[in-house]
A and B are shown apart, each in its own frame.
Chain A
Amino acid sequence: SQKIEQNSEALNIQEGKTATLTCNYTNYSPAYLQWYRQDPGRGPVFLLLIRENEKEKRKERLKVTFDTTLKQSLFHITASQPADSATYLCALDRGNQFYFGTGTSLTVIP
């Protein structure tokens, strides 16, 4: 079965630095890979989607890369702010079969 690993359960970084979160998967490559943000006690919110034939996608301070050879996606937040503190989930999308990771909890320290 599909397995998703988000390295480091928790990540602490200093404000202004770039946060890099990792999502590794096994078995089949997804057609799409998505990233969601989840605040405590709230539902996940969609951030970015990247297709298997795309290497990189950007949205404001967010950047996602997708390497199907390494079976890995990296999620970057540049110029991080305390408001970016949340749990970030990656999700593999294989034709409406969504497989979610357990998430990485990011804390941006002022």
Chain B
Amino acid sequence: ETGVTQTPRHLVMGMTNKKSLKCEQHLGHNAMYWYKQSAKKPLELMFVYSLEERVENNSVPSRFSPECPNSSHLFLHLHTLQPEDSALYLCASSRTYQQGYSGNTIYFGEGSWLTVV
């Protein structure tokens, strides 16, 4: 029980499909994140939201579109993806997000395994 719930756990989609990943955190945190994890590569930070405002967008292609309707929910909308986008997508949260503040612990969800065919 991590406090961060992701759905679906597995998703197979064609390159022309549109789908969404959903994340919900039950920890009362103010910051939420999307990470991408590919084999043999470090976790890649995609997006950060703090108090529902996007504060970081790390050069992610526009075929990935995040949405944060409130501080507990985070979505990642997917459209016209490429096979190289197949990966584990991890949602995470932390108590706060402030520039210059360290010591935050990141709580991850179980991840959504995405396969693009």
A interface residues (Cβ-Cβ under 8 A, vs B): 4, 30-32, 34, 36, 41-46, 49, 51, 89, 91, 93-96, 98-102
Report whether B43 and A43 are in contact in the complex, using a CB–CB cutoff of 8 Å. no
Report whether B109 and A98 are in contact in the complex, using a CB–CB cutoff of 8 Å. no
| Known contacts A31-B102, A45-B2, A49-B103; A98 and B45 CB within 8 A of each other | yes
Question: Main secondary structure on chain A at its contact with chain B?
Answer: strand
Report whether A44 and B41 are in contact in the complex, using a CB–CB cutoff of 8 Å. no
Report whether B113 and A93 are in contact in the complex, using a CB–CB cutoff of 8 Å. no
Report whether B106 and A31 are in contact in the complex, using a CB–CB cutoff of 8 Å. no
Question: Main secondary structure on chain B at its contact with chain A?
Answer: loop
Report whether B102 and A94 are in contact in the complex, using a CB–CB cutoff of 8 Å. yes
Report whether B110 and A42 are in contact in the complex, using a CB–CB cutoff of 8 Å. yes
Residues of B within 8 A of A44 (CB): 43, 90, 106, 108
For chain B, which range describes its interface: under 10, 10 to 19, 20 to 34, or 35 or more residues?
A: 20 to 34
Q: Does B104 contact A (CB under 8 A)?
A: yes
> In this complex, what residue of A is CB-closest to B39?
A102
Stretch of B62-70, B74-82, B92-100 with 4 or more beta carbons under 8 angstroms from chain A: B92-100
Q: Does B42 contact A (CB under 8 A)?
A: yes
Distance in Å: Cβ of B10 to nearest Cβ of chain A: 10
Q: Which 10 A-B pairs have the closest CB atoms?
A: A43-B108, A31-B102, A100-B43, A95-B100, A100-B42, A32-B102, A46-B105, A44-B108, A93-B102, A43-B111
Distance in Å: Cβ of B99 to nearest Cβ of chain A: 6
Residues of B within 8 A of A42 (CB): 110-111
> In this complex, what residue of A is CB-closest to B105?
A46
| Interchain CA distance A42-B107 in the complex, whole Å | 12
Residues of A within 8 A of B45 (CB): 98
| Interchain CA distance A45-B109 in the complex, whole Å | 9
